[in-house]
Amino acid sequence: MEIVKRASLRILYELKWILDFVFQRAVQFYSVAFVSGKQTSGQVLVVHTDGIGDYIMRIGLIDTLRELPGVEEIHHVLHSHLESIDDIIHPDDVKFYLDHERYRRNHFYRFRFLRRILARSYSMVIYPVFSRSSVGDEIVKLVRAKRKVAFAGDDKCMTEVRRKRNLGIYTDLIACEPFLPELQKFSLVLKTVKETDRESIAYVKLDAPYRGEEFLLPEGLQNAVKQLSVLLFPASNMHAKSLPAETVGRIVDSLIEFGGIREVFVVLESSENHLFENAFSKTSDRVKIVTGQSLRTVFSMIQSAALVISVDSAPAHIAMILGKPTMVLLSGAFFGRCFPVQHENLECVYYTMDCFQCEGNCPYEEPECLTKLDVRLVMEKVQALLKD
């Protein structure tokens, strides 16, 4: 029975690969027959198939690429949920916003999206994501460019067979260890694109005109998030990176007892609300759960708060580029990739275990590395971050 199941899955996979192949050939035929792309040697396309945190980490890489000789414009492929902050990060760049689910399921959407990119011809396409996806690979494959650069990566987002097939798309493949820090990975991109001795890319702090009146909180939160408020992001889309409710309760209670903190806002996705609503025992009127906020509102809340504490990299990266004191409560799932890292006004707290770098395959019912976090150490770091 198991053999039949495996054979069936293999046949379905091969059928999908054949359909994708036919679709790609049809798009390429359309591109050659009906589209005359703008011929330019100065346009570079950067493909981002991951989230806001990774995009923020690449700001320094993008700004460095922009300074290279011959680069006139940089275009981006980005997740559609980033469109709400279009005017905040690289507002003058051309951006193609991609709904991944629609791209996979709807061939008409897929064709319309690709048609917009195929209207241009690039000197180079860069896909600076270690765990590449088949969607990103297909976009790079179909785009007209003399040079295509990417990480050899892993098969976390696609099958090993498809990954090996897709390696042939690229003119330049970058090999590196999975847990090499992301900022050092980006330096390898620069070394591949242009000879350089730079060992790491730095975080970039957003200055005006990126900051200011555009960060307007929605009605109901305008007077709530004040200078002496702390934002806590206790959950991630990966269970192995999310704080257990009991640990959240201990941290929140300690924050409320700490002198000088007016309120604690626990920021959650709507689906996560029930996990933590009973986690707080003391002075609950100073603890507020905020759910279902847009990415732009999250930017606004972080801009207004005194301190951001997060288990997930995205809120931490946003806080760092906005110059806010930031604490990361770090699990061992992807330890070393994004955090810990040296940065102004950043503290990382973690409990080291032998199973670190498990990539989310936690052997415990609750992530032990987060359950055993030393709350006293967390509060010492909070005091250090808020010393001014």
What pLDDT does residue 75 have?
96
Confirm whether 325 is domain-assigned.
Answer: yes
Distance of alpha carbon 248 from alpha carbon 343, whole angstroms: 25
- Whether 130 is in a domain gets the answer yes
165 in a structural domain: yes
Residues 45 and 178 in one domain: yes
Tell whether 61 and 145 lie within a shared domain. yes
Percent of the chain with pLDDT over 90: 36
Average pLDDT of the chain, as a whole number: 83
Residue 52: give its domain's CATH number.
3.40.50.2000
Predicted local confidence at residue 325, as pLDDT: 93
Gyration radius of the chain over CA positions = 22
Q: Nearest 5°: CA angle at 278, between 277 and 280?
A: 100
Residues 67 and 133 in one domain: yes
**pLDDT for 121-158, tens place per residue?**
899 999 999 999 889 999 999 898 989 999 998 877 77
Closest CA to 82 of 294, 267, 307: 294
pLDDT of residue 208: 37
Q: Is residue 217 part of a domain?
A: no
Residues 158 and 234 occupy one common structural domain: no
User: In this structure, is residue 4 part of a structural domain?
Assistant: no
Q: State the average pLDDT over residues 103-121.
A: 88
Q: What is the pLDDT of residue 212?
A: 38
Instruction: Identify whether residues 304 and 168 lie together within a single domain.
Output: no
Is 19 a member of any domain?
no
Residue 173 lies in domain: 35-193
Question: How many domains, in total, are found in the chain?
Answer: 2
How far apart (Å, rounded) are the C-alpha atoms in residues 218 and 301? 10
Convert the pLDDT of each residue in 25-71 to its tens digit: 666 556 555 555 555 568 999 999 998 999 998 988 898 898 888 89
Residues near 220 by beta carbon (within 8 Å), at least 6 away in sequence:
none
Pair (266, 380) in one structural domain: yes
Burial track 4-21 (b if 16+ CB lie within 10 A, e otherwise): eeeeeeeeeeeeeeeeee
What are the beta bridge partners of residue 291?
Answer: 268
Mean pLDDT for 181-199 is 81
Report how far apart, in Å, the C-alpha atoms of 134 and of each of 154, 159, 225 are. 12, 9, 41
3-state secondary structure of 342: coil
Lowest mean pLDDT, pick from 5-14, 150-159, 171-180, 351-360: 5-14
Do 63 and 124 reside in the same domain of the chain? Answer: yes
Same domain, 178 and 250: no
* pLDDT tens digit sequence for 270-297: 777 667 766 666 556 788 888 888 888 8
Dihedral sign, Cα of residue 39, residue 168, residue 134, residue 188: negative
Q: Which domain-ending residue is among 141, 173, 193? A: 193
Q: Are residues 262 and 368 in the same domain?
A: yes
pLDDT in tens, 196-227: 555 556 655 554 334 433 444 555 555 555 55
In a domain, 26, yes or no: no
Same domain, 308 and 354: yes
Q: How confident is the model at residue 19 (pLDDT cuts 50, 70, 90)?
A: low
Query: Residue 17 above 60 pLDDT?
Result: no
Q: Is the confidence at residue 189, as pLDDT, over 50?
A: yes
- pLDDT band of 118, cuts 50, 70, 90: confident
Same domain, 174 and 249: no
- Collect all residues with Cβ–Cβ distance below 8 Å to 349 and sequence separation of at least 6: 327, 328, 329, 330, 373, 374, 377, 378, 381
Q: Tell me which of 170, 193, 216 is where a domain ends.
A: 193
**Can you give the length of the chain in residues?**
388
Among 193, 221, 237, the domain boundary falls at 193
Residue 336 region, left (φ>0) first, then alpha (ψ -120 to 50), else beta?
A: left
Q: What is the pLDDT at residue 291?
A: 86
Asked whether residue 22 is assigned to any structural domain, the reply reads: no
Alpha-carbon gap, residue 309 to 382, rounded angstroms: 9
User: Once rounded to an integer, what is the mean pLDDT over residues 242-260?
Assistant: 87
pLDDT of residue 29: 57
Residue 261 parent element (H or E):
none
Judge if 186 and 260 occupy the same domain: no
CB atoms within 10 A of CB 150: 26
